[in-house]
Amino acid sequence: MEIDISQAQKGGCKLFTAIIPDITERTRSEDILRQGEDLKTAILESLDNKVVVVDTRGLIVASTDRKFEFVAGNPLLGKGVGTNYFETCRKEIGENDSEATKALDGARAVFDGKRDHFEWDYAPDLASGKSCLLMSVTPLKGHGGIVISFQDMTARKRHETAIHELSGRLINAQEQERTRIARELHDNVNQQLAVLAIELQQLERFFPEASSEGCEQVRSTWKKAHELSMEVQQLSHQLHSAKLEHLGIVAALRGLSREFGAQHNIASEFQCRQEPLLIDSEVALALFRVAQEALRNVAKHSHATKVRIELVRENGKVALRVSDDGAGFDPEGASSQSGLGMTSMRERVGFVGGTLSIRSKPSVGTQVEAVIPVKRKAVAA
């Protein structure tokens, strides 16, 4: 219950009036509202992400930390509940901070209904060291305004960096082993096969002229030794391309195209724009390995009659495209069953900061494209 007493003067007398309403329902409603506020605060404080809620006026109405101390030095957090988010952030962003300006404009676009979602990945310099954050902005459904969350990506980024570095070391180790095996095949095994072929040719002279069967057997054995020597030499070139090392990516891809066409009886064409290309040796090696694997897939699966290799430099990037007119496939259906070859191509391209895409349709053909930024110290190709 609640009592409200008032007094008044009338005819020299004081009159008192007392109103005693039943406020049980109002108290219950206030308790429910208070519990709702407590629950909202508990939910916000239990989130791993740091959250800011901005209403339709642009005012901050809720956050996981009312003082916004969870990411000191972040210009996109405002000053606390009750302040105007956009005005406060705009004042704190420096004139030359284009990234923060871009992020604030993205949040404003969601606030104004021009975008459904916005994300910004950045790394502020904090007192505790370098940190990686993901800012995500979504509309506040049913009420208007926006919800801004800040996810700490530091540990994840470190793990990704560690995996990236490990992948790079594995690729480098693989290339060193390829080079070692290629040289062993070329300098040792192939040389011995060449000596064996010469000795077989010389052996033929020791057979009597009447022994045609023995001579034929020696010639047949010499032919097999010669073919084996050619296969070993080809395998050595596949493991380590001397053309790539000494003549550059253009000559290496042109030679690869010519050898592939001759070996598999498939019309193969190579085209290069803006020759000569100036690209890093690691980028050149990644492109060459992608071309090798793509051609290997063409030979094994596509049943193609034509294949085309293109090397293009444009807008600070170099692109390699390997296209065929073969059977094609469904990339989405095959993505879950990607073999080691596809995985290897993606890892190699990703290691040098590029992207790999595959476009294909059944009965239409396939195009494998690797696009890599050319930002490293360039060497003549």
How many structural domains comprise the chain?
4
Q: Rounded CA gap, 288 and 244, in Å? A: 8
- Are 140 and 176 members of one domain? no
- pLDDT attached to residue 342: 80
Name the domain boundary from 189, 213, 240. 240
- Are 204 and 339 members of one domain? no
- pLDDT attached to residue 117: 92
- pLDDT attached to residue 334: 59
Structural domain harbouring 194: 161-240
Mark the ranges of the chain whose per-residue pLDDT is less than 70: 33-48, 65-79, 94-96, 123-131, 208-211, 274-277, 332-340, 375-381
CATH of the domain at 90: 3.30.450.20
Give 5's strand partners: 18
- Are 208 and 253 members of one domain? no
Q: What's the pLDDT tens digit per position in 129-185?
A: 566 778 889 998 888 899 888 877 777 777 777 777 777 788 778 777 877 887 777
- pLDDT attached to residue 111: 93
Q: Is the bond preceding residue 208 a cis peptide, omega within 30 degrees?
A: no
- pLDDT attached to residue 149: 84
Name the domain boundary from 121, 152, 183. 152
Q: Rounded CA gap, 103 and 128, in Å? A: 23
Name the domain boundary from 46, 66, 82. 46
- pLDDT attached to residue 328: 85
- Are 336 and 301 members of one domain? yes
- pLDDT attached to residue 210: 57
- pLDDT attached to residue 364: 83
- Are 66 and 25 members of one domain? no
Q: Rounded CA gap, 35 and 194, in Å? A: 89
CATH of the domain at 303: 3.30.565.10
Q: At what angle do helices 154-184 and 340-351 cross, to 10 degrees?
A: 110
- Are 251 and 223 members of one domain? no
Q: At what angle do helices 154-184 and 212-239 cross, to 10 degrees?
A: 150
- Are 213 and 253 members of one domain? no
- pLDDT attached to residue 368: 93
Are 291 and 348 in contact by the 8 Å Cβ rule? The answer is no
- Are 331 and 288 members of one domain? yes
- Are 39 and 107 members of one domain? no
- Are 254 and 381 members of one domain? yes
Selection from 292, 284, 285 nearest residue 268 by Cα: 292
Q: Rounded CA gap, 87 and 102, in Å? A: 15
- Are 246 and 200 members of one domain? no
- Are 130 and 16 members of one domain? no
Amino acid at site 349: V
Q: What's the pLDDT tens digit per position in 41-62?
A: 665 555 567 788 889 998 988 7
